[in-house]
Structure 1
Amino acid sequence: MKKHKHFLAFTTSAALLVPIVAPVTTVAEGFPDIEGSSHEEAINALVKEGVINGYPDGTFKPNKTLSRSDVVKMMGKWLVTLGFQVPADYKSKPRFNDLTPSSNEELLKYAALVKDNGVFIGTPDANLHAEGEITRENMAMVIVRAYDAIHGTNLINHVAQSSFNKDVKDRGQAKAEARPYIDVLDFYDITNPASPAFHPKNTTTRGQFASFLYKTSNIVDEAKSEPRQESEPRQEPEPRQDEPAQETMPIPGQTPTSEPSPVPPVIEEDFEITSIE
């Protein structure tokens, strides 16, 4: 069965995307370092809507790697602009063991928000590892979980009940809990159908994130009308020896129990997010 390609026009979903990344500089004619890139359309669409901008030197740096802290702050501010509230005890009760009340204010706020809403859970040892890089499999999990939290959907259940031709051939290289999330990206062609290797263990770049975000935010599907259902409890993954322990992701539809920034940034100051007043 063919995949579903249900997407809204970008202008329709721009309200969801505006808070994702704050502009650093305005570029009217595009970025010279994204011409011909597979991410060019997504980046330009986000720039046109004022969602994301480049660096002061006029470049976008699509190959720059995202950190776990970057993602926490991005997703946290996205949720805030959509009506989610930062927990009042974000400072007195840091959500991760490697954060303290004296940690960066912005990171504390959004770490609490994304943790409490099940968007970003942390490692099995309850740490954030803010400086660590985020893998493609974990980015897939965070984005799908955020979409579900915002829309009250359960994309994993919906896709699991659908028959479609899978393009991703290296799904088996991903940790078990990430595979259903990768299936969601595959189902909606958020992954590149022409490139069967998803490379789940690789890091995530700015360009990749732009494409993931642009496509995922434009999903329109009957899954939105399906009631959320409780799924099996998530399993905590074992940290890999060759990279920082990775965050675990609850199954979409499950009530969040535990998959990004208004004060000084911590990791990537020129890739920050600005909330809409």
Structure 2
Amino acid sequence: MKKKIREIGKIRMIRMTKMTRMTMKADLQMTEASKKRFSYRAHLILPVLSIVLFISSAVVVAPQSYADALPTDIQGHWSETFVKSLVNQGVISGYPDGTFKPDKAISNVEFLSLTLKAMNETVQSVNMGETWDMPIMKRAFELGLVKMGEPMTNATSEITREQAAAILYRALQIKEGVRYDQCYTSILDQVIFDHDQIESAYRDSVYSMLQKGVFTGNDNHFDAKGLMTRGASCVVIERVIDKGKRANPTKTKNGFRVFVDLKIPVESEKSIQMPFENGNPIIDTEKVITELKQHENNVFTGSLYDYYYYDDFINLEWSGGRYVTYEAKKERVDSMINIGIEAMKVFYNYDYREDMKSYQKSLEWVSATNYPKKDRIENLIHSIQNNTLIMESQFITDKELFYNSSDGSKRLRGRLYFYFKSPSQKAEMFQTHFNDGVVNLKVDQWYYIDLEALVGDYGGHSGVEWEHSTPNYANNYYITDFIPVMPSN
């Protein structure tokens, strides 16, 4: 009986062994197939992603490497508030030993992972045969956060400040429609003393992120080649997530404020030639407007905030709630443009020798109601009465030349053609800012000057009780010198 049982057990063992071998063989076949599929997938992905498939276990952004509690080594660190915020939001975590290592450099893929989270972008799960970083890099390529040939495509390399700025600029292009305007470049060149160290490919990105307050300078230096740390990354990522956390873009960390000198015009030694008819220049309006659009905006503000052209400004949500609908805001903007045009007519196209009261009323109507303007008006009237000033002008502008400046002022750009004609005894152009200086020009000589007329609500600041319209005219900011215009025919 025992012998029979042993025989049956032997047969079962042989059968189980055969089954085990068959299973192992099937597993091996599946493994080989998986390897082939993985090899094929890697063959397709690697040329596109340009990253290393296998990453060292030292990479700390991998989900399995994180601890859940607040880190123990960030107290008193300059990035503490931002680190805590992102940890609490589940965007980033510390190490299993309870530390965060805020001063440790961060890799490209780590930074891209944080950026994708800040954009609320979904990253696919890791497929069999993939390392954890591959879906992150693939999604970053799909969105255009990184591009072929850039050093940020190397997943494990440490990322620099200028490279991080490029990624965040692209992220905010998608997230908020951010577009950098190069009119700010000349201003930012003054703010960032080491701007020549920024790679040309990253300059607009760096300047945009400075302008937006996502990045800041340190003692007016950006340190473009410096490595991003985990703490610094938390700061900029939090500012991408929350606009309220962004820095004041008009200053760097040490409070340096850039100011741009005003143009104080003089009579130019160079003249231009134009065709004349009946003693007046024939003006190509479209050409003039095209040239005016080529001037930099914010030339005199020194501010780094955004500005908005006519349509963009109207489409903004205005504060205060007084102007809500598009129609109401458009009517308001058009009235500011009209007051700028009227101001040019009043100030630079006059012959009021017989009706000075009407002229004074016109001046008060377009002018801001403050004491400097009151003195300027009185001086101009006195000059006209005593010197028999007669003037003729043409002001060329367009609604597309109106913009809301980064300092909040409303500006209407234009080109003023003018001349003082006989029997004028003097040809005096008053400066309309600062000390109201005077430029002496020639009688019976045409000139032009490009300027920006400031319009808006300027009454009520001084308590002067004049009847005036709102909005009204404040002053001119000059862009060019007084250019003599000579007949070409």
For the criterion TM > 0.5, the same-fold answer is: yes
Alignment of 1:184 onto 2:208: yes
| Structure 2 letter corresponding to 1:27 | A
| Structure 2 letter corresponding to 1:43 | V
1:222 & 1:75 partners in 2: Cα distance? 23
**Contact 1:67–1:131 at 8 Å: present in 2 too?**
yes
Q: 1:210 matched to which residue of 2?
A: 234
Unaligned runs of 5+ in 2: 1-60, 245-304, 313-489
RMSD (CA atoms) = 3.9
**CA 1:85–1:42: 2 relative to 1, 3 Å:** closer
Alignment of 1:108 onto 2:122: no
2:221 maps to which of 180, 183, 197? 197
**Contact 1:68–1:130 at 8 Å: present in 2 too?**
yes
**CA 1:167–1:21: 2 relative to 1, 3 Å:** farther
**CA 1:77–1:114: 2 relative to 1, 3 Å:** same
Q: 1:34 matched to which residue of 2?
A: 74
| Structure 1 letter corresponding to 2:98 | G
| Structure 1 letter corresponding to 2:82 | A
**Contact 1:141–1:181 at 8 Å: present in 2 too?**
yes
2:138 & 2:152 partners in 1: Cα distance? 12
1:97-126 residue CA offsets vs partner (Å, 9 max, x unmatched): xxxx96x354332322211211111425x9
CA shift for structure 1 position 200? 0.7
3-state SS of paired residue (2:153): coil
Identical aligned pairs, as a percentage? 21
| Structure 2 letter corresponding to 1:109 | P
**CA 1:166–1:39: 2 relative to 1, 3 Å:** farther
Alignment of 1:150 onto 2:175: yes
**CA 1:179–1:46: 2 relative to 1, 3 Å:** same
| Structure 2 letter corresponding to 1:141 | A
| Structure 1 letter corresponding to 2:86 | L
| Structure 2 letter corresponding to 1:69 | V
2:89 & 2:183 partners in 1: Cα distance? 30
3-state SS of paired residue (1:201): coil
**CA 1:161–1:68: 2 relative to 1, 3 Å:** closer
**Contact 1:21–1:74 at 8 Å: present in 2 too?**
no
**Contact 1:154–1:223 at 8 Å: present in 2 too?**
no
3-state SS of paired residue (1:156): coil
1:1-45 residue CA offsets vs partner (Å, 9 max, x unmatched): xxxxxxxxxxxxxxxxxxx996922335xx442222221121122
1:201 & 1:118 partners in 2: Cα distance? 22
CA shift for structure 1 position 85? 7.4
**CA 1:77–1:191: 2 relative to 1, 3 Å:** closer
2:89 maps to which of 49, 62, 69? 49
Q: 2:66 matched to which residue of 1?
A: 24
CA shift for structure 1 position 140? 0.7
1:157 & 1:172 partners in 2: Cα distance? 19
**Contact 2:91–2:117 at 8 Å: present in 1 too?**
no
Task: Spell out the pairing of 1:85-164 with structure 2 (5 A cutoff).
Answer: 104-123=130-149, 128-151=153-176, 153-157=177-181, 160=184
**Contact 1:167–1:186 at 8 Å: present in 2 too?**
no
CA shift for structure 1 position 68? 1.8
**Contact 1:156–1:184 at 8 Å: present in 2 too?**
yes
**Contact 2:123–2:135 at 8 Å: present in 1 too?**
no
Task: Spell out the pairing of 1:76-87 with structure 2 (5 A cutoff).
Answer: 76=116, 79=119, 81-82=120-121
CA shift for structure 1 position 127? 8.8
CA shift for structure 1 position 60? 1.0
Q: 1:261 matched to which residue of 2?
A: none
Q: 2:331 matched to which residue of 1?
A: none
CA shift for structure 1 position 175? 0.3
3-state SS of paired residue (1:155): coil
2:98 & 2:170 partners in 1: Cα distance? 33
2:184 & 2:219 partners in 1: Cα distance? 22
CA shift for structure 1 position 172? 1.6
Larger Rg: 2
CA shift for structure 1 position 212? 1.0
| Structure 2 letter corresponding to 1:192 | T
2:170 & 2:143 partners in 1: Cα distance? 9
**Contact 2:118–2:237 at 8 Å: present in 1 too?**
no
| Structure 2 letter corresponding to 1:209 | S
1:112 & 1:159 partners in 2: Cα distance? 34
3-state SS of paired residue (2:220): coil
2:183 & 2:87 partners in 1: Cα distance? 30
**CA 1:156–1:211: 2 relative to 1, 3 Å:** same
3-state SS of paired residue (1:130): coil
Q: Per residue, is there more strand in 1 or in 2?
A: 2
CA shift for structure 1 position 217? 2.4
CA shift for structure 1 position 141? 0.7
**Contact 2:192–2:220 at 8 Å: present in 1 too?**
yes
Q: Tell me the matched-pair count.
A: 189
Q: Per residue, is there more helix in 1 or in 2?
A: 2
Alignment of 1:68 onto 2:108: yes
Q: 1:168 matched to which residue of 2?
A: 192
Compare relative contact order (CA 8 Å, sep 6+) and give the higher one, 1 or 2. 1
